[in-house]
DNA sequence: GACGATAACGCAATCGATTGCAGCCACGCA
DNA sequence: TGCGTGGCTGCAATCGATTGCGTTATCGTC
């Protein structure tokens, strides 16, 4: 119940100076002390249940073995998996993740970021980047290591790990065309984030390659409600549409809702493809055809990149693009 | 790009001693310094973009304004919402949450806990408690403030915020009985966690009150696969079953899977009730009837309790039990 | 027996902020 | 003029660990 033991307690129990105890306890420096003494110190530490004070250590060493993770929305089932990938990777290297929800809110992002910064995290993994992110340009100047996840900035400020959206969209469109669809619409994510823009551009290319009419409606956000609103608008203005490529699975959920409201059957009357393959979309009715993103690996690779950078590798901002694959389920069918 | 400014930089720019700068910057002590000087310091701080070093502060004050949060499984959509409740509450009081996934693994829990402890969190919010948790009994001795969420320990070591499982199960059973079911089975969660046990006991009482036969199969974990396994076993041994109360929604998902494998229709042949009302279960086919748990409030109330405790309120371990309500959707129907 | 080399360890500064205590100054009052 | 009072501010210790540098002890060698 008393205060937790400090290294001074360990040292005096072992009959040595704090400095010696410190060296004995640290694997990196333990060869600077006599093996016998080291054992005594170790025993003493065990006896007292000594746990080093991470704060004090970080203050002195200027390294916290902690990484800040910025997530736009933890309630989107996509991100917990990414987080797992991060934790699995950094945990093995003795790092801990400090999670923060930004809620896609710039102010909140700023606050959270500052909180992490003042806790002296060694680097950041950021999944909440906007294409033109004032925060990130400021961060770039600070020189603190950052790796972007899933979303990138327009300016190539940082290394990033993303899915190969280009290819993902292409195969999705291919699939729909193969089923005979000629009126394919895209409900894009917000153009303020890179995934929204990139997927819309990819859609443009894929559609143009088949000389089909291009219809795109931009959603206000990656959410079910925004998806539903956009879908309503689309169905109103383009009743000829027979297939929809959603900007992500949340938007696809909104589409399903809009469809059922209008009594349109999916996939008989309208085919639908999502993006991300998040948890549970295989349990919808119909099970959602979607572009699978390797969430866990997304986090893991990004974490690895950051660890490399912290270990002093070259910091040329390379961009890693992970292969995506289309998972065909029940929400797509042949055009009537 | 140079090192971030310290309070010494601010002080020298303002032409005062560090101590004065410190007092000027801290609202609690700023009345100890001349208003004019205080303004000078504030200006200097702003000019330099000064951010206090939280590590140094915590080291000195022995308070970190950080709370540790232990989550058994972040990928269960239940918990992100709880986390949001926590963050919303503590954020308003200047606290930050340090999240850790325990994966329901005692070793990992221990590791994560130690990591948080060595970072000197001011208290813990623990959603991963086991009924007889060696970690927690040790923690209780340390005297660090803890509030349990959702799950409790057998020994009343800590305050806790849970759902009123008793009443929740009762109304669920009531609902099924009202639909004419007489062969109701319970697929309980693991008896090693309080929710598993409490709901099973509540089921026992509710069934006994109606003098119905009691069938309970315990699942190995709160997971879809364990639920499916238990459901198979149940349907094998008790084919007369017409209704199932699942220990939680994940288990219910497993049940749905087992049912569809056997070609049994829900709700026509078997009715099913889940527990938690987690994200997306309203989108299943059939939409799941389930007991709604106020996730956000669960986290918020627990956080408030912890904050109270930190603010020095009495620490008599009170237990808060939040009202639950049955959400009737499509997975329950009248017995044939 | 003196000297240099090497291993083992102790000393004290340091990281950045907080805070009890003491000093200083100005002012008021006798 | 002397003294008390109170408002501001500075000094220095402190939190717990790390680390450059200096000191001591030990041993081998000539």
Taking only the tens place, the pLDDT of each residue in B70-124 is 999 998 999 999 999 999 999 999 999 999 889 888 988 998 899 899 999 999 9
Residue B141 included in any domain? yes
Say yes or no: Cβ of B23 under 7 A from any atom of strand C: yes
CATH number at residue A317: 3.40.50.2300
Among all protein residues, pick the one whose CA is nearest to the C1' atom of D16: A56
Task: Tell me: do B302 and B153 sit in the same domain.
Answer: yes
Residue B131 included in any domain? yes
pLDDT in tens, A173-232: 999 999 999 999 999 999 999 999 999 999 999 999 999 999 999 999 999 999 999 999
Q: What is the CA radius of gyration of chain A?
A: 25
Residue B228's domain comprises: 165-293
Chain B (104-123) residues lying within 8 Å, Cβ to Cβ, of chain A: 114-115, 117-120
Task: Tell me: do A125 and A270 sit in the same domain.
Answer: no
- pLDDT for position B141: 80
- Pairwise CA distance, residues B154 & B132, whole Å: 6
How many alpha carbons lie under 13 Å from residue A7 in its C-beta half-sphere? Answer: 15
B240-B245-B251 Cα angle (round to 5): 110
pLDDT band at B3 (very low <50, low <70, confident <90, very high): confident
Tokens 């009357």, residue located: A269
Nearest by CB to B87, from A1, A83, A101: name it.
A101
pLDDT band at A139 (very low <50, low <70, confident <90, very high): confident
Q: Kindly report the backbone phi and psi dihedral angles of residue B27, in degrees, each rounded to the nearest multiple of 5, phi listed first.
A: -55, -30
* B325 membership: H or E segment, kind and range: strand B325-327
Nearest chain B CA: its distance from A117 CA (Å): 9
Say yes or no: Cβ of B115 under 7 A from any atom of strand C: no
* A51 membership: H or E segment, kind and range: none
Nucleotides of D under 7 A from a protein CB: 7-12, 14-20
Residue A89 included in any domain? yes
Task: Tell me: do A176 and A271 sit in the same domain.
Answer: yes
Across A132-136, B131-135, B296-300, which has the greatest mean pLDDT?
B296-300
Residue B284 included in any domain? yes
Locate A72 and state its tokens.
């736009």
For every residue of B188-201, DSSP letters joined together read: EPPTTSHHHHHHHH
Classify the C-alpha dihedral B138-B141-B145-B151 as positive or negative. Answer: positive
**Cβ count within 10 A of residue B92:** 10
pLDDT in tens, A274-299: 999 999 999 999 999 999 999 999 99
Task: Tell me: do A287 and A171 sit in the same domain.
Answer: yes
Task: Tell me: do A123 and A189 sit in the same domain.
Answer: no
The structural domain count of chain A equals 3
Buried b (16+ CB within 10 A) or exposed e, B19-56: ebbbbbbeeeeeeebeeebbebbbebbeeeebeebbbb
Residue B71 included in any domain? yes
Task: Tell me: do B175 and B189 sit in the same domain.
Answer: yes
Locate A278 and state its tokens.
């998040």
Task: Tell me: do B286 and B180 sit in the same domain.
Answer: yes
Q: At what angle do helices B249-261 and B224-237 cross, to 10 degrees?
A: 50
Diameter of chain A by CA atoms?
Answer: 86
Is A137 within 8 Å of chain B by CB? no
Task: Tell me: do A286 and A172 sit in the same domain.
Answer: yes
Q: At residue B315, does pLDDT exceed 70?
A: no
Contacts of B51 in chain A (CB under 8 A): 114, 117-118
- pLDDT for position B335: 84
- What mean pLDDT is reported for chain B? 94
Nearest chain A CA: its distance from B260 CA (Å): 12
Nearest chain A CA: its distance from B40 CA (Å): 23
Residue A334 included in any domain? no
Pairing of strands A243-246, B66-71: unpaired
Q: At residue B260, does pLDDT exceed 90?
A: yes
Among all protein residues, pick the one whose CA is nearest to the C1' atom of C16: B56
Task: Tell me: do B115 and B137 sit in the same domain.
Answer: yes
A115-A222-A157 Cα angle (round to 5): 50
Q: How far is CA B315 from CA B215, B307, B308, B310, in A?
A: 40, 11, 9, 9
Task: Tell me: do A158 and A182 sit in the same domain.
Answer: no
pLDDT band at B219 (very low <50, low <70, confident <90, very high): very high
Task: Tell me: do A308 and A245 sit in the same domain.
Answer: no
- Give which of B84, B101, B110 to mutate to test A binding, by max A Cβ within 10 Å: B101
Q: Evaluate whether A221 touches A246 at the Cβ level (below 8 Å).
A: no
pLDDT band at B317 (very low <50, low <70, confident <90, very high): confident
């Amino acid at each position: 119940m008393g205060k937790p033991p400090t290294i001074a307690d360990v040292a005096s129990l072992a009959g040595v100076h704090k400095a010696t105890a410190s060296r004995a306890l640290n694997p990196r420096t333990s060869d600077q002390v006599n093996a016998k003494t080291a054992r005594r110190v170790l025993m003493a530490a065990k006896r007292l249940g000594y746990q080093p004070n991470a704060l004090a250590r970080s203050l002195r060493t200027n390294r916290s073995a902690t990484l800040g993770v910025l997530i736009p929305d933890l309630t989107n089932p996509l991100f917990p998996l990414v987080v797992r990938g991060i934790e699995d990777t950094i945990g093995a290297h003795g790092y801990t993740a400090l999670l923060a929800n930004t809620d896609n809110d710039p102010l909140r992002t700023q606050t959270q970021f500052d909180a992490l910064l003042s806790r002296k995290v060694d680097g950041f993994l950021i999944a909440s980047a906007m294409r033109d992110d004032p925060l990130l340009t400021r961060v770039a100047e600070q020189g603190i290591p950052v790796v972007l996840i899933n979303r990138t900035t327009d300016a190539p400020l940082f290394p990033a790990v993303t899915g190969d959206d280009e290819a993902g969209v292409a195969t999705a469109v291919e699939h729909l065309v193969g089923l005979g669809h000629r009126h394919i619409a895209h409900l894009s994510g917000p153009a303020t984030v890179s995934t929204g823009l990139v997927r819309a551009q990819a859609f443009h290319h894929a559609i143009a390659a088949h000389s089909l009419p291009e219809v795109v409606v931009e959603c206000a956000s990656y959410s079910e409600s925004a998806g539903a609103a956009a879908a309503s608008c689309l169905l109103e203005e383009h009743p000829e549409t027979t297939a929809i490529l959603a900007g992500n699975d949340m938007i696809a959920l909104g589409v399903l809702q809009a469809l059922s409201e209008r009594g349109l059957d999916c996939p008989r009357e309208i085919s639908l493809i999502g993006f991300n393959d998040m948890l549970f979309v295989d349990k919808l009715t119909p099970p959602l055809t979607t572009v699978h993103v390797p969430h866990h690996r997304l986090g893991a690779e990004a974490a690895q990149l950051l660890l490399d950078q912290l270990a002093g590798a070259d910091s040329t901002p390379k961009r890693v693009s992970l292969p995506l694959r289309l998972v065909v389920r029940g929400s797509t069918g042949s055009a009537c």
